[in-house]
Amino acid sequence: MTDNMRPESFEFLQSYLNNPSPTGFEKEGQKLWLEYIKPYIDEYFVDTYGTVVGVINPDAKYKVVIEAHADEISYFVNYITKEGYLYLRRNGGSDPLVAPSKRVNIFGEKGIVKGIFGWPAIHVRKVEQDKAPTIETVFLDCGASSADEVAEMGIHVGSVVTFEDEFTVLNGKFYVGRALDNRVGGFMIAEVARMLKENNKTLPFGLYIVNAVQEEIGLRGAEMVAHRIQPDVAIITDVTHDSQSPMYEKKTAGDISCGKGPVITYGPAVQNNLRDLIIDTAKASEIPFQRAAATRATGTDTDAFAYSGSGVASALISLPLKYMHTTVETVHKDDVDSVTRLIYETLLRIEDGQDFRYFN
């Protein structure tokens, strides 16, 4: 258990991160998440594609969203050889470079089938001619010796594949696992709902706690649910790259560090007055924070909310993360705590009907 997290929260974090939620197939993770937040909300709804929204004060006219995305990168079975090997295609930004010798879960018609990314031994390769693994060269072995045997196991073209790696704690300070991008965000917004309830805070507006699907393939879940809720304000949380580990170029990646607090982004989709309210809140609450700049877009659900309807005042609070889109995504537990607190404290400062326009 970690220092500043209650045991029940830690248990939820662990089970939620270990549960696979590939893009387009987020159902089981969404059920877990909803079960956890139910005691802290007034009502909820689930949309056609599986985005889950917990609502506090559903009758209020002014609507504020806090949002994270639920899906993780994965693969689809794309081709099955007559010898029983499986070739894949990406579902989201999966990285074949990290695949060889990893264990996987294949979601077949008869349930989960274990598989492995095979790779030829160093002895038989011309090592000087080695090329980096690509989606064309990585393959799965599920212990079958023919396409018929694969079919008997319930695996077919379109079956989804996720890595098996599970949650661990590193040096008492870091949470490590696959899919911290961005289920750790779902965890943080759920904790905000809990803190509001347990501290008996009454908000003057409707709060929509949104765990959206299909972010990894183009912010699709956020796009759908933004149309449905038509909020006035949206605070998004996602992960961003820690640039301290080797092979990052700070001139392009910026200077972001795990353990130094939430990252507040500057960019066209970020509404400046809302962003400044978040910065003022961080200063007043003595929450350390870092700054980042986006080019055209943030690349997160912030963009989908900002540009929905007639424009929604949106801002992004990011969690620094090492090794994005690998099976060892790593975040600092202090940052998880700080992002959660910053969202919570910011909500307490938003007024009913607050006008975020630059001038009127």
Would residue 215 show up in a list of annotated catalytic residues for this protein?
yes
CB atoms closer than 10 angstroms to residue 280? 12
The residue count of the chain comes to 360
CB atoms closer than 10 angstroms to residue 124? 6
3-state secondary structure of 218: coil
Distance of alpha carbon 40 from alpha carbon 42, whole angstroms: 7
Distance of alpha carbon 175 from alpha carbon 169, whole angstroms: 5
305 burial class (0-12, 13-18, 19+ CB within 10 angstroms)? Answer: buried
Q: Which helix (H) or strand (E) holds 115?
A: strand 111-118
Q: Which of 67, 72, 215, 223 is catalytic?
A: 215
Helix residue ranges, H only, the chain:
7-18, 27-37, 147-152, 180-198, 220-229, 250-253, 272-284, 301-306, 333-347
Ordered DSSP codes for 220-244 = HHHHHHHHHH--SEEEEEEEEE---
Sign of dihedral through CA atoms 75, 87, 325, 249? negative
Catalytic residues: 215
